[in-house]
Amino acid sequence: MAKETDVLIAGAGPTGLVLALWLTHLGVRVRIVDKTAEPGTTSRALVMHARILEQYDQLGLAQDVIGRSLKFAAANFWVKGRRVGPFRRTRTRSSWSSACAPPGSRSSAPPSSPPSSRVKPARARG
C-alpha cells in the first residue's frame, strides 16, 4: 500500500493550516485532523501583520489574500462592551506596510473558499 501522508497535523487553526501550506509547498504530503467536524463560525485570525504577509508572499498567496482583505491603519478592540485597547499601524522594515483583516473577518465567519486556486480544502474521510 502506498504511503499517502508524510506528516499528520493535529488542529485546523491558523497555525496548523499555515504549517500545512508550508509543508505542501515543500512537497510534503500532509493530513490535517481537527476535533471539530464542521468549519468554524468565528474568525480565528483577526489581523494579518507584515510578517505573515511576507510568508504568504513566499508561497505566492499574498496578493490574493490582500486583494480580498480589508485594509486599515487603526482599530479599537472591545471585550464585553468595554474598550480594551487601540491598534495602530506602525512602521516596519517590511515591504508590507499595512495590516489587514483576512477574508471572512468582516462577518466573523471564515472564508468560504481558499485564497488561491492552488489551495483546495480537503474533505474528511469516513
pLDDT at 20 over 90: yes
109, 41 contact by CB (below 8 A)? yes
| pLDDT band per the 50, 70, 90 thresholds, residue 120 | very low
What pLDDT is attached to residue 31?
95
- Note whether 48 and 106 are same-domain residues: yes
- Note whether 4 and 29 are same-domain residues: yes
21 lies in a domain?
yes
Over residues 51-74, the pLDDT tens digits come to 888 888 888 888 888 888 887 777
- Note whether 103 and 50 are same-domain residues: yes
**Pick from 31, 3, 34: which is nearest to 110 by CA?**
34
8, 33 contact by CB (below 8 A)? yes
- Note whether 23 and 53 are same-domain residues: no
88 lies in a domain?
yes
16, 23 contact by CB (below 8 A)? no
Mean of the pLDDT values across residues 36-48? 75
Question: Cα dihedral angle (104, 105, 107, 113), rounded to 10 degrees?
Answer: 10
52 lies in a domain?
yes
- Note whether 109 and 47 are same-domain residues: yes
123 lies in a domain?
no
- Note whether 45 and 95 are same-domain residues: yes
Mean of the pLDDT values across residues 74-102? 74
What's the chain's average pLDDT? 74
- Note whether 107 and 72 are same-domain residues: yes
15 lies in a domain?
yes
Q: What's the Cα-to-Cα distance from 37 to each of 33, 40, 44, 53, 58, rounded to whole Å?
A: 9, 9, 16, 29, 31
Q: Is the pTM of this model over 0.75?
A: no
- Note whether 4 and 18 are same-domain residues: yes
Question: Cα dihedral angle (44, 49, 51, 57), rounded to 10 degrees?
Answer: 90
What pLDDT is attached to residue 126?
41
pLDDT at 5 over 90: yes
What pLDDT is attached to residue 43?
67
Count up the domains in the chain and report the number: 2
Q: Which domain holds residue 45?
A: 41-113
Mean of the pLDDT values across residues 84-98? 68
